[in-house]
Amino acid sequence: MLLPLLLPCVTQAEPTSWRHVVLSELPPGHLAEIRIAADVPTLVRFESELDPAGTRLQEQGPSLFESLDVSGRLLLLHPSAGAWLWPRLHLQVRRMDGTSLTFVLVPSPPALADAQVDVFLHPFSPGALRAALEKVSAEHEALKLRYARSAVELARYRDDEFNPDVALAVLLLDDEASSSLLKEKPLEVSNTELRALLWFVRLAGRSAYVFLVTNRHRTVNWTPDGAGILHGPAREPLPVIVRARPSILPPGGSGRVVLVTRTPPSADKERYDVQILGPEGPNWQLCYSGAKL
């Protein structure tokens, strides 16, 4: 029997390819469908044991399956690698109590084939209730995760509401408001894909760097993937607030990235590295060494 050998391959399939069928919920005259693909094993699980002798394809002719195995409540369908084109087939499954069930085998692309199908006679059978409970539990866990993320985000927004570092970063993102603060001539920082004008502002015990970034790539968007102000040979990061507007720069587009930190007591004696990272490697990073705070 190939079922014990192929079962591990089936159970490792993606959860999205697992589904269940409740036969009593099908419209009158409709048969349950099982999506199969060439060389893709499909495991079908039932609530009671099956009769191997009465489980077969209704159509006559050469078999398109490497195996059609029954073991207890499990049925394994494994179409052969060469069975890439075939008509819809009817599968008769007989249970040990003598009753028979008929399914339609529908040819599908491998990505859409069923890895596992659980078959229930009606929605109140133990297996169906267990499957429904598992689905509700999974949805509940997903809602809990979303709630936890929302709570963290809400807490961050509440902290930001009274955070002067955030207020300064938001102020410097605004063209009109920052025009009175950015008086000095900007520096230019660039690489093969990005060009930026850079201003430095010191205000109320805070130091801020304002980058006006232009994406010079012809086809690819640029997204800041982190930023920092680093100190010393060990490149120790300072606590920093980072804000960007917009968050994604299309080809040829421009936007601002602002970094705000508390001005260190030894700012006049130290030099820092200011960097903005991109997701696509060094060509998408902006760095300015020797910065003063």
The mean pLDDT value for 140-164 works out to 83
Question: Quick one: pLDDT band at residue 5, thresholds 50, 70, 90?
Answer: very low
In the sheet where 187-190 sits, what is the strand order? 187-190, 194-203, 206-215, 254-262, 241-245
Mapped onto helix, strand or coil, the DSSP state of residue 81 is: coil
| Cis before 246? omega within 30 | yes
Mean pLDDT of the chain: 84
Q: Does residue 209 contact residue 200 with C-beta atoms inside 8 Å?
A: yes
pLDDT tens across 109-147, in order? 888 899 999 999 888 888 888 888 888 888 899 899 988
Residue 15 has pLDDT above 50, yes or no: no
pLDDT tens across 162-219, in order? 788 888 888 898 888 778 788 788 899 888 889 999 999 888 888 899 999 999 998 9
Handedness of CA 61, 65, 67, 69 (dihedral sign): negative
Q: Does residue 101 contact residue 95 with C-beta atoms inside 8 Å?
A: yes
Residue among 186, 215, 208 nearest 279 (CA): 215
Antiparallel, parallel or unpaired: β 74-79 and 42-45 = antiparallel
Residue 4 has pLDDT above 60, yes or no: no
Supply the pLDDT for residue 52.
Answer: 92
**Cross-strand partners of 36:** 107
Residue among 232, 243, 242 nearest 273 (CA): 232
134: enclosing H helix or E strand: helix 126-161
Question: Quick one: pLDDT band at residue 103, thresholds 50, 70, 90?
Answer: very high
The mean pLDDT value for 146-154 works out to 85
Residue type at 143? L
pLDDT tens across 246-287, in order? 989 999 999 999 999 998 887 667 888 999 888 877 778 888
